[in-house]
Amino acid sequence: MNVKAWSDRFALKRAPKLAKVLTAFNANVDAMVFGLHQPAKALALLSQAELAEIEKKCDSELREIKSQSDFFSALLHSVKTGKAMHLHASQGVFDWMGSVFTADETRIGGQAGIMANQLSAFHDFVLTYSSLLSPLQASFFDQKVCFPSTSGKKLVCHPAKKVARKGDATKVNWIFEFKTGEKLKAKSEFHSPRANRLIVSSPAHYTPVFENVDVKQLAKNADVAMLSGFQQLHLDKNLGATLKKISSQIAELKKANPKIAVHWEFVPMEDKKAEKLVLSSVGKAVDSMGINEVEIVDVLKALGAKKEADKIGKLENSYSLYLGARRLSELLKLERVHVHSFGFQLAVLRKPYVVAPDKVRDALVFSSIIAALKALKGSAFVSRKEFEAHALVPSETGFNQIRALEGGLDEERVKRFSSMTRRALLESGIFELNDHYVVIVPSPIVQPKSTVGLGDVISSMALAAERG
């Protein structure tokens, strides 16, 4: 492989032009806890019987947190597997957490909030719609982030603080970050194989739809719509009507601006029956989906693609994730599926795709740099100055994953790739197939201070650069 070609691409110091982006619907405040010293201290106060119960439950992945022991079991599971987890907690558990833990830092959270603040560091115009906007929540938004209202047929923009709603609740998520090799002890001692985090989400009551704003005007002022927050939906009597309204509003965005790219940044739902319905409704209305290596397995299972899900579970690599992304694209008729994983990211693009594959690849490189800098610094966003001063290089893990994808694709072919073709594919990261492209880039690997929001940053900066 020509490593120099990839190193030259990562020597990028000038940011590409970004498209105008609308982010919606979820913003919250993240209470960050760095390291495992606080949870370790709380665990040390428990009895041996309580610790035994916690360890017993930590062998399986919980779907929600209903008790204190559930919290510790979820954290132990995340630590011992090194995998990110995002779970909802009851109000009682959340109140207990507030009495036991102290945040090391509070910052903007939620996909729409994280994306908006990062995009505003590289663009003077970012539209955001937040279903909840308390004065506290508003104080975390960058001044350049525009909150819309409509006056007649005209879109009017306001900074968050001017349109904050005093009656709105503030949604707070606790984020527990841990590093590679960090340990946590119950009865046994667990060591993390990889830096990651557990997100504990507070109860929230909002509906992820646009209200009191002209959707057509939003579409006319954006090239990309990054939607998220659907994980708050539940299987109740209103779900059918809510999904119909969401799909109708997405159709309205596209009708008002046929060139707009509508993206769903996926987060697993607590209610799995509702999740299947949301996937079949919202998933078929959007153009693009962003997802990580853990989430795609659950989504494939929910959609009945057990073969592809099991293949990832058996051997998680770029080729099995590509097969999963390709199947997801087929099932939901998506133009674009963007998978972000450790050391690399890939995108499956359905032909005819509106952007040249090499521009997509370069956008993925740009987003990889931004995400790695955010992880390294542990900051809420990366500034243009920090980007221009970076000295990051692609990882050997990423190169190995390009080789794995090329090898898997080669085995599918009746006629194998020539050595010259193989070299060209490995160097470009672009593979053209009958009805789609797959684009893969290696990512820098750093010792992260924080991992939360990396997928949001990768997806939003990549799509904004791609469509800019």
Rounded to whole angstroms, how far apart are CA atoms 296 and 210?
27
Judge contact between 367 and 457, C-beta under 8 A: yes
* Pairing relationship of beta strands 261-265 and 126-130 according to DSSP bridges: unpaired
pLDDT at 151 over 80: no
**At residue 229, what are phi and psi to the nearest 5 degrees?**
100, 0
pLDDT digits (tens, 9 = 90+) for 276-287: 999 999 999 999
Task: Tell me what the mean pLDDT of segment 377-399 comes to.
Answer: 96
Rounded to whole angstroms, how far apart are CA atoms 328 and 436?
13
Rounded to whole angstroms, how far apart are CA atoms 430 and 208?
36
Judge contact between 30 and 106, C-beta under 8 A: yes
**pTM for this prediction:** 0.93
Q: How many CB atoms lie within 10 A of CB 47?
A: 8
Task: Tell me what the mean pLDDT of segment 58-83 comes to.
Answer: 93
Rounded to whole angstroms, how far apart are CA atoms 254 and 263?
12
Judge contact between 156 and 150, C-beta under 8 A: yes
Judge contact between 75 and 184, C-beta under 8 A: yes
Judge contact between 20 and 468, C-beta under 8 A: no
Res. 65 pLDDT band, cuts 50 70 90 = very high
DSSP state of 87: E
Res. 414 pLDDT band, cuts 50 70 90 = low
Looking at the domain that runs over 3-29+108-169+205-466, which CATH code has it been given?
3.40.1190.20
pLDDT digits (tens, 9 = 90+) for 333-363: 999 999 999 999 999 999 999 999 999 999 9
Nearest residue to 358 via CA among 411, 282, 413, 427: 427
In 174-317, which residue ranges form alpha helices assigned H by DSSP? 215-220, 239-256, 272-285, 295-302, 306-314
Tell me the domain boundaries of the chain. 3-29+108-169+205-466, 30-107+170-201
What's the pLDDT at 121? 97
| Rg, Å, the chain Cα set | 22
Counting every residue, how long is the chain? 468
- What 3-state DSSP class applies to 252? helix
- Name which CATH class applies to 30-107+170-201: alpha beta
Judge contact between 55 and 126, C-beta under 8 A: no
